[in-house]
Structure 1
């Protein structure tokens, strides 16, 4: 179960079955914060369905929130692969 709490500048999403480390922040940039609240709800839905977020930030957030070790391991592997695809646009060289 997840809890979404709004503060002035961010939403706190916490896994209530987990420990303190099982939480993440979603910064509020819009005036009302509705867009960011929908992002929080989408993130929770992604985790419940065991899908992979497209955003690297949401991927890291999903890793922090989930308690499912197999799903977490899969997300960590995907995160490693994404980091390996670094592209230096100035020189046009893949690293």
Structure 2
């Protein structure tokens, strides 16, 4: 699901998830994870767009089971293509499983 960072605190960020309560309810996410995925500092996170796997049938934010974070960044070549960056922790888990 497409996700937008609304606010970013020292330890938790507030995100809006498309398709979950019409993006009206915010969910908490780990700021350090979002910083690692996007390559941005905390103060630059609001407005950042990411993709994350989530349980959209969750009735509350703590049941979303957020995982597989990916960042969408515009490359500087002007072709308007999007580059994906996976969470380092998830990549390490996959390498250990192989």
Q: TM-score range by the shorter chain?
A: under 0.3
Larger helix proportion of the pair? 1
Structure showing greater Rg = 1
By percentage of residues, which structure has more strand? 2
**Larger RCO (CA under 8 A, 6+ residues apart):** 2
- TM-score with structure 1 setting the length: 0.28
